Amino acid sequence: MDPLSIASPAASHPIRRTIARARAVERKRRDDSDLKLFALSFTAFFVCFYTFLL
């Protein structure tokens, strides 16, 4: 067992026990990954093709 971890919640600091635990907010994900992949691929192709012309 890790000596830095607290075995029970009662052994923690009193102020820490009174503070509410923060929870992560679940974000809604938009499904635009295909559009982003297309834009990235198109830009990469354009940059490569343009450098060959120079």
Question: What does the block give as tokens for 2?
Answer: 């890790």
pLDDT at 2 over 70: no
Query: 49 and 43 in contact (C-beta within 8 Å)?
Result: no
Q: Which residue has the higher pLDDT, 1 or 52?
A: 52
Biggest CA-to-CA distance, the chain: 70
Question: For residue 31, what pLDDT is reported?
Answer: 78
What b-and-e string marks burial along 2-19, b requiring 16 or more CB atoms within 10 Å of the CB?
eeeeeeeeeeeeeeeeee
- pLDDT of 42 reads 96
Question: In this predicted model, what pLDDT tens digit does every residue of 13-53 receive, in sequence order?
Answer: 788 778 877 787 877 777 788 899 999 999 999 999 999 88
- What was the pLDDT predicted at 19? 81
